[in-house]
Structure 1
Amino acid sequence: MRSAIKVLMGLLAVFCLVQAASAAVNYKLSTTPTVSPSSGDISPGEPVTVLVTLTLTGTEQTFPDKNQLEFYTELNDPQWTRDIQIDGIGSDSPRTVKNMRMTIPGFELSYKSGLNLVVKVTLKGYAPTVTATSSKTIMSIQELDSNGVAVEGSTYSIKRTVVNPQDVQANIATAQTRLTALKASIDEKLVSGVDTTAAQTKYDEAKAAINRASSTSDFAAAKADLTVAQTAMDAAETALVQAEAQKEINDAQSAINQIDGIITYFEVNRSMGTDQRVMNLKTQRDLAAQSLSLANDQMNAKNYDAARIKGADANQKAQSTLTLATQVREEIGEGFSLNLGSLPLYIGAGIVIVLIIGGIIYLRNRKRWDELG
């Protein structure tokens, strides 16, 4: 009984090993596949070529004779050319297949281990027509077992986005609408004193890219140009918000500087440091400066929308305080202030006054003397 159990366990182990061996992937890519065009999206009808080289990696045999390699494509009018090479020697007449799917049966690939067996496959076709821009399989490779089931981990795919012309035309129209709105925004900010130089530069880049997309029949190239345009418009909008925020910050800082000058005048020239009106101005000035500091923090963090909002708040507070400070100065007036730079003028005026008073006194005394005889 125990012997029978051991035999069964041994057979089970052998069966598991066989299953594991049959589940192994028996090929690998010798080199990176060559695809033309090499990168980017493709347009319907565009010719496509793929070259792959596979090395068979079976252990006891180069490839299991009951398995098969399957190749598939979604290209139109596909033409496969395959060449099986053993130790560098290929067929005199490589086989050609014109179908979306090509299979190579295992018995054509099964040789004793130790041989260097390579499969070279070339695929030529045309990008298919699509109703919506989508990803299509240019080539897929998989190993199928004896039941026609894909061996786990054996599938390899090359995919590429095929562009739908209608999608491109719709996207061009959308981009042009956005570009028009961007131009209007740039012009509006320019009138209000915002530095729109950076935004205008990016706008020009976007406009050029959209013009290229509109004038080409290469829809993949048009789609790439639209991506360039969208990126440039994003940058232009960001630059515009940044410039607007910087203007609010600059205007707020300028107003605060003027407020500081007026407060200094009140404190130094008029000795009004304890005047309630001056103290109120200083409080309002500090509130504006706090908002300005927050705006600068957001600017440094590149949070331009937040910087613009905080900058506008700081500017509003600073301008309101500046108006109040100007009103207080007008109410108080210039008053009298001894300016050392005008000292000679003051001395001269004093001498004139003394001479006038002396002359009046002299004339009065002389008249009195005349009356006394």
Structure 2
Amino acid sequence: MRSAIKVLIGLLVIFCLVQAASAAVNYKITGTPDVNPSSGDLSPGQAVKVSVVLTLQDYGSYSFPADHSLALYTDLDNPVWNYYIELAGRSDPPRTISARNLPINGFDLSYSADTDVRLMVAVEGTAPTVTATQEKILIRVRQVDEEKDVVDDSEYVIKRTIVNPQDVQANIATAQTRLTALKTSIDEKLAAGIDTTAAQAKYDEAKAAINRASSTSDFAAAKADLTTAQNAMSAAETALVQAEAQKEINDAQSAINQIDGIITYFEVNRSMGTDQRVMNLKTQRDLAAQSLSLANDQMNAKNYDAARIKGVDANQKAQSTLTLATQVREEIGEGFSLNLGSLPLYIGAGIVIVLIIGGIIYIRKKKQWDELG
């Protein structure tokens, strides 16, 4: 009884090993597949060619399981397959099939395990018409077992995006609308004194790309131009926000500099450092400077929207404080200020005035004496 159980267990182990072996992937793609066009999206009707090399892997004593097969497929229209088997460097006559599916029987691929077996496959066709821009299969390879099930991890596929002309036309219209809005924004910012040089350059780049997309019948190229245009417009919009933020920051800094000059005048020329009005100006000035510092931090971090918001806040505070400082100066007037640093000048001027007055008095008295004889 125990011997029978051991035999059954042994048979079960062997069966599992056989099943595991049969489930293995028995090919690999060698080298880099040749795809023409090599990159980019495709337009419907565009000619396409794909070539791949499959090297068969050892399967026990054979290069490939005879009861398995390779199933190749393409979404290309009017496909033509050309393939041949290479044995130890020697090629079989090529075979040609016109169909979307190319099945290759495992029996044709099963050779002695010590034989170098490779399968050369090429498919030519045209990119299919699509109702929406989407990916399509240029070539797909699968290993199928005796039950017609796909072996796990045996699928190899090359895809490419096929462009729908209607999508391109709709995208051109959308891009044109965005471009028009961008131009309006640039003109408004320019009128407000904002530097729009960088934004204008990107606008010009986007406009040229949209014009190319509108004038070509190569829809894949048009789609690429539209991507270029969208990226350029995004860069232009960012440049506008950055420029607007920079102007707010510059205006705020200029106002703060003017406030500092007025405060210096009050403190130095008018000796008003302890005046409540001047102290209030200094407090308001510091608040504006704090907002300006935050705006500069956001600019350095390239957070231009946040920098613009902080810049507007800083500029509003600075302009309000500058207006108040100007009003206070007008209320006080120039007045007279005794500046100790100018004391010698004041003394000199006083002496001159005294001498002039004394001279006038002397002359008048002298005249009176002359008249009295």
DSSP 3-state at the match of 1:285: helix
2:142 equivalent in structure 1: 142
User: Which stretch of the first structure deviates more once superposed, 324-333 or 244-253?
Assistant: 324-333
CA separation in 2, counterparts of 1:5 and 1:196? 87
3-state SS of the aligned residue for 1:31? coil
Aligned partner of residue 28 in structure 2, secondary structure: strand
Which residue number in structure 2 is paired with residue 174 of structure 1? 174
Give distance in 2, aligned partners of 1:35 and 1:206: 30
Distance 2:80 2:26 in 1: 25
Which whole-Å CA distance do the structure 2 matches of 1:365 and 1:9 have between them?
Answer: 151
CA separation in 2, counterparts of 1:132 and 1:341?
Answer: 85
Residue type of the partner of 1:65? Answer: A
Give deviations 1:115-162, integer Å, cap 9, x for gaps. 011100010000000000001011100000001100101000000000
Deviation for aligned residue 1:351: 2.5
Which residue of structure 1 aligns with residue 44 of structure 2? 44
Paired residue secondary structure (2:130):
coil
Distance (Å, rounded) in 2 between the aligned partners of 1:120 and 1:176:
47
Q: Counterparts of 1:126-205 in structure 2 under 5 Å?
A: 126-205=126-205
Report what 1:306 is aligned to.
306
The letter of the residue matching 1:80 is W
SS at structure 2 position matched to 1:359: helix
| Structure 1 equivalent of residue 64 of structure 2 | 63
**Cα distance in 2 between the residues matched to 1:355 and 1:329:** 34
Instruction: Report the counterpart of residue 6 of structure 1 in structure 2.
Output: 6
Q: Matches of 1:241 and 1:258 in 2, distance apart?
A: 26
Deviations 1:309-329 (A, max 9, x none): 110010001001001101111
Specify the code of the residue in structure 2 equivalent to 1:175: A
Equivalenced residue count is 371
Task: Tell me whether 1:20 sits opposite 2:20 in the alignment.
Answer: yes
Structure 1 residue 84 and structure 2 residue 99: aligned? no
- Residues in 2 aligned to 1:370 and 1:177: alpha-carbon distance in whole angstroms: 100
Question: 1:47, 1:126 within 8 Å by CA — same for their partners in 2?
Answer: yes
Match in the other structure for 2:260: 260
Task: Return the alpha-carbon distance in structure 1 between the equivalents of residues 134 and 287 of structure 2.
Answer: 56
Aligned to 1:334: 334
Return the offset for 1:360: 2.0
Residue identity opposite 2:211 in structure 1: N
1:343 CA displacement: 7.5
Matched with 1:274 is: 274
Distance in 2, matches of 1:316 and 1:121, equals 71
Give the superposition deviation at 1:58: 2.4
Match of 1:210 in 2: 210
Q: Deviations over 1:278-319 (max 9, x none)?
A: 011001101100111111111111110010011001000100
Q: Does 1:294 find its partner at 2:294?
A: yes
CA distance in 1, matches of 2:353, 2:161: 97
1:335 aligned counterpart, secondary structure: coil
Write the distance in 1 (CA, Å) between the matches of 2:184 and 2:301: 28
Q: Which runs of 5+ in 2 are unaligned?
A: none
For residues 200-248 of structure 1, the C-alpha deviation after alignment (integer angstroms, 9 at most, x for no partner) is 1111111111111001000000000000000001100001000000000
TM-score by length of 1: 0.95
Does the CA-based 8 Å contact 1:58-1:64 persist in structure 2?
no
For 1:184 and 1:65, locate their aligned partners in 2 and report how far apart those are by CA, in whole Å: 70
Q: Please state whether the residue corresponding to 2:113 is helix, strand or coil.
A: coil
Residues in 1 aligned to 2:345 and 2:283: alpha-carbon distance in whole angstroms: 39
For the residues of structure 2 that align with 1:331 and 1:361, how far apart are their CA atoms? 42
Partner of 2:90, secondary structure, is coil
Once residues 179 and 74 of structure 1 are traced to their aligned partners in structure 2, the CA distance between those partners, rounded to angstroms, is 37
The answer as to 2:73 corresponding to 1:72 is yes
Change (3 A) 1:276 1:338: closer
What is the distance in 2 between the residues matched to 1:321 and 1:56? 82
Q: Among the aligned pairs, what percent are the same residue?
A: 68
Task: Indicate if the aligned counterparts of 1:142 and 1:156 stay in contact, CA closer than 8 A.
Answer: yes
Q: Take 1:342 and 1:186, find their aligned partners in 2: how far apart are those partners?
A: 57
Q: How many angstroms apart in 1 are the aligned matches of 2:198 and 2:115?
A: 64
Work out whether residues 266 and 273 of structure 1, in 8 Å CA contact, stay in contact via their aligned partners in 2.
yes
Look up the match of 1:319.
319
Letter in 1 for 2:133: T
Distance in 1 (CA, whole Å) between partners of 2:20 and 2:326 is: 91
Deviation string 1:238-279 (CA, Å, 9 cap, x unpaired) is 010000000000000000000000000000000000001101
How far off its partner does 1:357 sit? 3.3
Verify: 1:111 aligned to 2:132, yes or no.
no
Find runs of 4+ consecutive structure 1 residues off by over 4 angstroms: 337-350, 368-371
Question: Cα distance, 1:342 vs. partner?
Answer: 12
Read off the aligned partner of 2:180 and give its amino acid letter: T
Counterpart of 2:107, as a letter, is F
Deviation at 1:85, TM superposition (A): 1.1
Shift of 1:335: 1.5
Residue 226 of structure 1 aligns with an amino acid whose one-letter code is L
Output one character per residue of 1:68-116: Cα deviation in whole Å (capped at 9) or x when no partner: 0010000000000110111111123x11110000111011111111001
What is the CA–CA distance in structure 2 between the aligned matches of 1:156 and 1:98, rounded to whole Å? 21
Does the C-alpha gap of structure 1 residues 344 and 283 become closer, same or farther in structure 2, counting only changes over 3 Å?
Answer: closer
